[in-house]
Amino acid sequence: DARVTQTPRDKVTEMGQEVTMRCQPILGHNTVFWYRQTMMQGLELLAYFRNRAPLDDSGMPKDRFSAEMPDATLATLKIQPSEPRDSAVYFCASGLGNRDYNEQFFGPGTRLTVL
């Protein structure tokens, strides 16, 4: 049963520290999305890639967030420096990037707490 995996599942860190979250998309999926969920804002799209190229990162705070896909099996989301307002659950999702088959498969999320 193919699934999106995310590591770590939980991360507690102190303000100012660097945080790296990792995502392994489903094999064969060419589109990877990063979302963030908070109680106040709900689920928000941060960025997404297609065939490893960034297509849209307009939802991401540019000064401290960066997203990359070093290869087709790994996507990373980095926050440097982290702030308490970054505390949220970060979800990665992958899909086929095809308008007829565009179901997105979500990972279990990384719960980030910045103290």
Partner 1 sequence: DAKTTQPNSMESNEEEPVHLPCNHSTISGTDYIHWYRQLPSQGPEYVIHGLTSNVNNRMASLAIAEDRKSSTLILHRATLRDAAVYYCIPIPGGGADGLTFGKGTHLIIQP
- Answer for which of 7, 56, 83, 115 binds partner 1 (CB under 8 A) is 56
Which stretch, 15-23, 37-45, 60-68, 72-80, contacts partner 1 (CB under 8 A)?
37-45
Tokens 């996507």 locate to: 75
Which stretch, 11-19, 20-28, 66-74, 103-111, contacts partner 1 (CB under 8 A)?
103-111
Q: Does the footprint of partner 1 cover residue 109 (CB under 8 A)? A: yes
Q: What is the CA radius of gyration of the chain?
A: 13
Q: Residue 6: which of 72, 102, 38, 26 has the closest Cα?
A: 26
CA 80 vs CA 6, 22, 102: distances in Å = 19, 15, 32
Q: Does the footprint of partner 1 cover residue 54 (CB under 8 A)? A: no
Task: Give min distance, CB of 53 to partner 1, in A.
Answer: 14
Q: Residue 59: which of 37, 30, 40 has the closest Cα?
A: 37
* Positions in the binding site for partner 1 (CB under 8 A): 4, 31, 33, 35, 42-45, 48, 50, 55-56, 59, 91, 93, 95-100, 102-109
